[in-house]
Amino acid sequence: MNNFMEFKDKRVLVTGGTRGLGRAIAVNFAREGAWVAVNYSSDDSSALDTESELKRISPQSLTIKADVSSRTAVEKMINDVLSTWEYVDILVNNAGIIRDKMLMFLNENDWDRVLDVNLKGTYLCSKAVIKPMIARKSGRIINMTSPSALSGRISQTNYAASKGGVISFTKALSREIARLGITVNAVCPGVIKTNMTEDLDEKTKNDFLKMIPMGRFGDPDDVARAVLFLASKKARYITGQVLVVDGGLT
């Protein structure tokens, strides 16, 4: 662990924080001294695994199962975090799902579910943490978006719409609360090495690699460092922005 811990005793909530990018973000914050709460929706096994890793680094860490698309679940989650920690310094809205289908076959449930988790979840979690942040006149909200929002992608009309909405939400909210010491930004990860990319067939992997000027997939830590930067004091004059971490893809 770093001797100089940039986020010592900062309280961080990462939604979808028990796997993949979310987990990398959570662990990076914990290594920098933060108290980290991770939320997840259903994978109890990954949650237990992440919880024990986080507790080793950050004894104050919390693991909370909650569906971010449900207002009552989000309010309970935030109330549980606030009653244990008193406040939240940094919210990372990372929870997200995909249900890729060509529009002709995209049913209403596929549309609603992706919008509910990815966009409504971002709204619900942000709304729930904002009052304590306003009271302290301090806070960071970092939302995860996607190259799909910037350039579109076949079979992702729902996902692209949700992540495009996240960008617009980020910009609007950043203007609402900039004067109150709270920054709101988005991070746009490109193609990152996770379980999902490991499962791709060789041809698809190679097709992706050809589109990336750097010629490699990103590491989860590449994205985590961008999130930590936006959460840090170094980024105190940055708000309403989208930081793209994609090796030149877009």
Min dist CB 178 to other proteins, Å, is: 9
Min dist CB 14 to other proteins, Å, is: 24
Residues 169-208 that bind other proteins (CB under 8 A): 176-177, 179-180
Min dist CB 130 to other proteins, Å, is: 8
Binding track over 209-248 against other proteins, x by CB under 8 A: ----------------------------------------
The CA distance from 111 to 26, in Å, is 29
Element (H, E) at 59: none
56 or 131: whose CB is closer to other proteins? 131
179 or 203: whose CB is closer to other proteins? 179
Size of the site for other proteins (CB under 8 A): 8
Min dist CB 180 to other proteins, Å, is: 6
Which whole-number Å values give the CA distances from 123 to 14, 68, 78, 119, 230, in the listed order? 14, 9, 13, 6, 19
- Closest by CA position to 179, among listed 233, 131, 134, 227: 134
Min dist CB 179 to other proteins, Å, is: 5
Query: Are residues 64 and 77 in contact, defined by beta-carbon separation less than 8 angstroms?
Result: yes
The CA distance from 229 to 184, in Å, is 13
159 is an active site residue: yes
177 or 249: whose CB is closer to other proteins? 177
Residues 126-145 that bind other proteins (CB under 8 A): 131, 134-135, 137
> 6-38: b or e for each residue (b if 16 or more CB lie within 10 Å)?
bbeebbbbbbbbbbbbbbbbbbbbbbbbbbbbb
135 or 196: whose CB is closer to other proteins? 135
48 or 178: whose CB is closer to other proteins? 178
Which whole-number Å values give the CA distances from 119 to 4, 70, 145, 213, 237, in the listed order? 35, 12, 10, 30, 25
What distance lies between CA 94 and its chain's CA centroid?
Answer: 2
| Active-site hit among 40, 123, 159, 237 | 159
Q: 16: left (phi > 0), else alpha (psi -120 to 50), else beta? A: left
Is 56 one of the binding residues for other proteins (CB under 8 A)? no
- Which residues here bind other proteins, judged by CB under 8 A? 131, 134-135, 137, 176-177, 179-180
Instruction: Give the active site residues.
Output: 159
